[in-house]
Amino acid sequence: MIVQTTQKSKEQLRKELLQPDVITGSEMLLRSLLLEDVDCVFGYPGGAVLYIYDAMHGNPDFKHLLTRHEQGAIHAADGYARSTGKVGVCIATSGPGATNLVTGIATAYMDSVPLVVITGNVATSVIGTDAFQEADITGITMPITKHSYLVRDVKDLPRIIKEAFHIASTGRKGPVLIDIPKDVSNEKSPFYYPESVDIRGYHPTVQPNKLQVDRMLEAIAESERPVILAGGGVVYSNASKELLEFVNKARIPVTTTLLGLGGFPSAHELWMGMPGMHGEYTANNALQNCDLLIAIGARFDDRVTMKVNGFAPHAKKIVHIDVDPAEIGKIVEASIPCVGDVKAVLEMALTKVKPAKSEAWIKQVQENKMNRPLRYKDSDTELKPQYVIEMIHETTKGEAIVSTDVGQHQMWTAQYYKFNHPRSFLTSGGLGTMGFGFPSAIGAQVAHPDRLVVSVNGDGGMQMCSQELAICAINKIPVKIVVINNQVLGMVRQWQEIIYDNRYSHIDLAGSPDFVKLAEAYGVKGLRATNKEEARQAWAEAMDTPGPVLVEFVVRKGENVYPMVTQGSTIDEMIMGDSE
């Protein structure tokens, strides 16, 4: 595990790193990353980055975690970034190494996660000649990065790294790529690391327009049925405390999107749950009947709005707060646009916010929450996945960092695990990347060695990243790995049942490996449960075991996620399933 450097040694290290020595590009890279307070890099070596890896040899200050696949490296860096708010860093070689990062870059870009992605390239003299393991990674990733650099002069490398961290972590956060040709990584030059950054044309708007904030506050004071739609921007701007205070003062019910979960405490009387395709009845009903909608750091994803022209039809005014001006009005027209950092907007609003006329509305919302909670048909003979998630929540008291892969288990976790804190739920929202869950948990555990990290996976997604079990065993990374095994591509099966009239096509995962034996083959303890009693015993054993443990929960194949809104429907047209 990572050993934290003391403050005194950090100061001494910084002084040593800033010495104007004549060093190689590789040594510049390592120094620059340390100066950016990077305490772990996730990567996989290859020919074009061998000078960089050679510079790591014998460097006691630089921490690197060798994953078993480049995609595992970038998802781990992503999990590190989401759980800390710091910039995650990964390294891969040129060609296939770089292209194996593409899905992870797109994942981070869609969810606004700050990453600095470092790739090697062939020597500058052969760029464009189809040299061995050459790929135009800057061109390939242009649509899915905030910015990218191809370093042609070693003197530019420190400045580029400084700029990359600044771009990744400011405004709407996101991934920045630095492509370093092999010869540049070996060239020498005096090292100088800039103290500040000034990039022409890049000055994100952080402070909001006061007049727009005042307009929002006037709308709140006049509103009788207000709703706040809180998204991932609340978490990313570290504005959870301000949102809680704002809600308490304004008296407005809150629904949190998938990426917003944890940004507002789930135990609060005004929290309505998650909205959208698999959202709670109370949240969807409130959105459809509100007279004022305030979207805070949410981008009106199609899984939230569903049929856009039927979304929030009674909202006389829609406020949209976002640091990215391109998002405002892109999908849902905002009558009160407010560009700025969520934390800054809420801080300004808190100085004079007055409560809405919402007490009757709150009473109605709370009655809906009590009368129409999430429900499922429990069983004494079959293990239900919802029960597993409820059990994990109960035993961890909502205090764990939980990552998920993508599919039914992701939605069940979002529904039945109640999050107390921001940055405690890690999931691929916008891109829906299978294979994300387990590696992202590794990154989070490296960042938080003293916290419980639980990775919830399906049997499909687990097979896209199972090789990373090796690094948990070798490095004693104590992630608790959950596999919800229904022997099928569950969400695809559900859609084929409900939308495609039971025409099941290529979803059978019955030939999957024995996950317990697979874990043991990598040196990780494996456990299995097929009923409630076994589930409780296996999970208790996992929690009591130091180090990584994989627990396979064998659940009913035909279980569906409800509520569900089918495409083309409005969010109040919910299929309630077992509880209908």
Catalytic positions, please?
Answer: 70, 132-133, 182, 491
Contact of 107 with 403, CB cutoff 8 Å: no
SS3 of residue 239 by DSSP: coil
User: What are the structure tokens assigned to 480, written together?
Assistant: 């608790």
Contact of 574 with 565, CB cutoff 8 Å: yes
Q: Which helix (H) or strand (E) holds 525?
A: strand 525-529
397: left (phi over 0), alpha (psi -120 to 50) or beta: left
Cβ neighbour number for residue 123 with a 10 Å cutoff: 15
SS3 of residue 402 by DSSP: strand
Contact of 76 with 438, CB cutoff 8 Å: no
Maximum distance among all Cα pairs of the chain, rounded to whole angstroms: 72
Angstrom distance (rounded) from CA 355 to CA 342? 20
In whole angstroms, how far apart are CA 385 and each of 479, 486, 577? 20, 9, 15
Angle CA 267–445–262, to nearest 5: 20
User: What are the structure tokens assigned to 185, written together?
Assistant: 């990584």
From the list 363, 409, 358, 419, the residue with the least C-alpha distance to 386 is: 409
Angstrom distance (rounded) from CA 435 to CA 75? 8
In whole angstroms, how far apart are CA 484 and each of 126, 238, 494, 542? 48, 32, 15, 15
User: What are the structure tokens assigned to 391, written together?
Assistant: 């059990």
From the list 165, 128, 125, the residue with the least C-alpha distance to 147 is: 165
From the list 272, 274, 318, the residue with the least C-alpha distance to 293 is: 318
Contact of 559 with 486, CB cutoff 8 Å: yes
Q: Classify residue 567 by its DSSP letter.
A: T
Q: Of how many residues is the chain composed?
A: 580
Q: Which helix (H) or strand (E) holds 494?
A: helix 490-498
Q: Which helix (H) or strand (E) holds 41?
A: strand 41-44
User: What are the structure tokens assigned to 95, written together?
Assistant: 């060609």
Spatial strand order in the sheet of 525-529:
425-426, 401-404, 453-458, 480-485, 549-554, 525-529
Residue type, 111: D
Tally the C-alpha atoms within 13 A of residue 453's C-alpha that lie toward its C-beta.
30
From the list 10, 39, 14, the residue with the least C-alpha distance to 448 is: 39
For residue 319, which phi and psi values (nearest 5 degrees)? Answer: -100, 135
User: What are the structure tokens assigned to 450, written together?
Assistant: 């003293």
Cis bond before residue 337 (omega within 30° of 0): no
